[in-house]
Chain A
Amino acid sequence: EIVLTQSPGTLSLSPGERATLSCRASQSVSSSYLAWYQQKPGQAPRLLIYDASNRATGIPDRFSGSGSGTDFTLTISRLEPEDFAVYHCQQYGSSPPYTFGQGTNLEIK
């Protein structure tokens, strides 16, 4: 089973700042099959990024994903008020289980 570790657990930033979130895998994620999701309180997760670096439909270009192997990053170039939420990474490169990281809480400073 691939274990995903997200850091930091909580990130405190102000609107307009740049956010960098990390997701590290315990072993290489094949084909860079890694996704990022955004979740706001009381809502279902929403797909942001798939295949490590491809934005999902309708996702603003201030969101970008990068990485390969065991190290992946989600970057939000300039934070908007609606971007403060919890972010989850998920790998789907191997056979099940399709594991998630524990999440990063992006909060307003």
Chain B
Amino acid sequence: QSALTQPASVSGSPGQSITISCAGTSSDVGAHNYVSWYQQHPGKAPKLMIYDVSKRPSGVSNRVSGSKSGNRASLTISGLQAEDEADYYCCSYAGTSTYVFGTGTKVTVL
């Protein structure tokens, strides 16, 4: 199972909006609504930000949203803040009871 494809880096100024893409196939992202997103700060464990494509866990800022179209999922962060600077990973159910993560995107707040 190949990793989902994400841009290596995305940047934005404080207050701006950024979108991170996650490209998969008809066997993973396109086949299910089980897409999740994780934020990881350096040296820390990942944190769940979005699940089931667009649902936010309790405690996650409403500046974060998720969506999906065909084989591509997206994570949008609006009103960018310094604390949003981190690595972000998408994850999808890949069928046959396996999961696949994205390649990861480093978000830089300028």
Q: Are the chains A and B members of one assembly?
A: no
Q: Using a CB–CB distance below 8 Å, which chain B residues touch chain A? A: none
Q: Using a CB–CB distance below 8 Å, which chain A residues touch chain B? A: none
